Amino acid sequence: METTKNVIELKNVTKDYGDFKLDNVSFVVPEGSVCGFIGQNGAGKTTTINLILDVIKRDSGEIKLFGEAVDGDSAKLREDIGVVYDEMGFHEFMTARDINIMMKHIYRNWDEQVFFDYLKRFSLPTKKRCGSFSRGMRMKLQIAVALSHHARLLIMDEPTSGLDPVVRNEMLDIFREYVVEDDHTILLSSHITGDLEKLADEVVFINGGRIVLAGNKDEILEKHGILKCKKDDFARVSEALVVHGEVSSIGAEALVNDREAAAKLYPDMVMEPATLEQIMIHYVSGKR
């Protein structure tokens, strides 16, 4: 049986800014998967992405892309990576035609036909300055560029933030199409957990520069649960099972890390499935 390759590997990666530290970050992203990189604004998502892309230098640890170490000479690796940031990286006076000409000189595998096909699909003008584009149009332009040089890996930092639900769903459909072709892989940073719940295979939770949870999305959702009970009954619940709980005058609610075990131990209490958003909120609240 063929083992799954890891497209991204981080091992004990540290970056210390003094007022913020990315602390011993380790996780992998398997080939052919969508990995949701989840955390609050300021949790360390963008710093991690910039380290992976070799935009900034790590203090310690190891980073590999496609099995090769990222060590300063990563130009050839970037040929295989499409990147989308939450802010457009093109000069506002440029048109899509200008961008096409520029990209021909940047990427060996730039595909002009694919680029203009995406522009048509996204209803993006070719002669209009991109500085006049709406946020949704700007994100579509970045995605069109990222998908037009036959990248094997897409890395995206908050690509759906600030977009209306219709445009967000359109983006998610495009990402789904991309990842089913040729074992393409996506690392998608977002604080919009609803999008990742629809799309991701794997999830990595980061908080305060540390990874607090990582693994298969469905297994994480299956494992965790929301336990609800009376205020007085909450004292009976094992601390080992509780990630974080809140007690009020009307009752108690907690995220448990083993839903099956908790349900067996406390059959008189209400047990509900947990969403990724609930899991993130409770882990952030319980592990500062």
Domain endpoint, select from 165, 182, 215: 215
pLDDT band, very low/low/confident/very high, at 34 (cuts 50, 70, 90): very high
Please determine, for residue 136, whether its predicted confidence score (pLDDT) is greater than 90.
no
Q: Are residues 184 and 277 in the same domain?
A: no
Enumerate the β-bridge partners of residue 84. Answer: 156
pLDDT at 88 over 80: no
Least confident of 46-50, 84-88, 254-258: 84-88
The residue segments making up the domain with residue 265 are 224-286
Q: What is the mean pLDDT of residues 255-276?
A: 96
Q: Report whether 26 contacts 10 (CB < 8 A).
A: yes
- Determine, yes or no, domain membership for 119: yes
In a domain, 85, yes or no: yes
Strand ranges of the sheet holding 202-207, from the earlier edge strand across to the other edge? 81-84, 153-157, 185-190, 34-38, 202-207, 210-216
211, 27 Cβ separation under 8 angstroms: yes
Pairing of β 210-216 and β 251-256: unpaired
Which position has the higher pLDDT, 86 or 115? 115
> Of 192, 215, 238, which closes a domain?
215
Looking at 193, 215, 237, the residue that finishes a domain is 215
Give the residue among 132, 204, 198 at the shortest CA–CA distance from 169. Answer: 198
Judge whether 114 lies within some domain.
yes
97 lies in some domain: yes
Domain check: are 228 and 108 in the same one?
A: no
Give the separation between CA 78 and CA 53, rounded to whole angstroms.
8
Domain count, the chain: 2
> Residues with Cβ < 8 Å from 280, sequence gap 6 or more?
38, 39, 193, 205
Residue of higher predicted confidence among 195 and 222: 222
**Residue 31 belongs to some domain of the structure:** yes
Q: What is the pLDDT of residue 76?
A: 67
Do residue 63 and residue 105 come from a single domain?
Answer: yes
Q: Do 122 and 200 belong together in one domain?
A: yes
Examine residue 273 and state whether it is found in any structural domain, yes or no.
Answer: yes
Residue 1 lies in a domain: no
Least confident range of 146-160, 218-232, 246-260: 146-160
Report pTM.
Answer: 0.89
Q: Are residues 165 and 239 in the same domain?
A: no
Domain co-membership, 152 together with 278: no
Identify the pLDDT of residue 167. Answer: 81
Q: Are residues 146 and 234 in the same domain?
A: no
Judgement on whether residues 144 and 282 belong to the same structural domain of the protein: no
Residue 81: beta bridge partners? Answer: 153
Per-residue pLDDT, averaged over 217-227, amounts to 96
